[in-house]
């Protein structure tokens, strides 16, 4: 069995502690996308966390949020049936 990658461990650590993070603007786009999808999968998306992602002004993240119709009244959001990793 192959051990998890450092990237995978780091993403999991960020997802576990997302409430303590105040800025994601420095995070590369591919990692941002992975973070957002894992947060949704775990049912941890709140308005505060959503605002962190919106503040990045990343076009792909904003498009994904719009595509999934994520709005205030849907939060907290769990889309476990929609995403499989």
Ranges of beta strands (E only) in 25-80 are none
Report whether 65 contacts 35 (CB < 8 A). Answer: no
Question: The tokens of 5 are what?
Answer: 């990658």
pLDDT exceeds cutoff 70 at 39: yes
* Residue 79 belongs to a domain: no
pLDDT exceeds cutoff 80 at 2: yes
What does the pLDDT read at residue 72? 60
* Residue 82 belongs to a domain: no
Give the domain extent around 34: 6-17+25-74
pLDDT exceeds cutoff 90 at 24: yes
* Residue 48 belongs to a domain: yes
* Residue 81 belongs to a domain: no
- The tally of domains found in the chain comes to 1
* Residue 31 belongs to a domain: yes
* Residue 1 belongs to a domain: no
Which of the four pLDDT bands, split at 50, 70 and 90, describes residue 73? very low
Report whether 38 contacts 16 (CB < 8 A). Answer: no
Mean pLDDT, residues 57-83:
71
pLDDT exceeds cutoff 90 at 8: yes
* Residue 37 belongs to a domain: yes
């Amino acid at each position: 069995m192959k051990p998890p990658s450092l990237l995978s461990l780091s993403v999991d650590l960020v997802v576990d502690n997302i409430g303590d993070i105040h800025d994601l603007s420095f995070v590369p786009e591919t990692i941002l996308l992975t973070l957002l999808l894992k947060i949704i999968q775990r049912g941890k998306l709140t308005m505060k966390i959503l605002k962190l992602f919106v503040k990045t002004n990343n076009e792909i993240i904003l498009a994904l949020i719009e595509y999934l119709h994520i709005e205030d009244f849907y939060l907290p959001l769990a889309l476990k049936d929609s995403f499989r990793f």
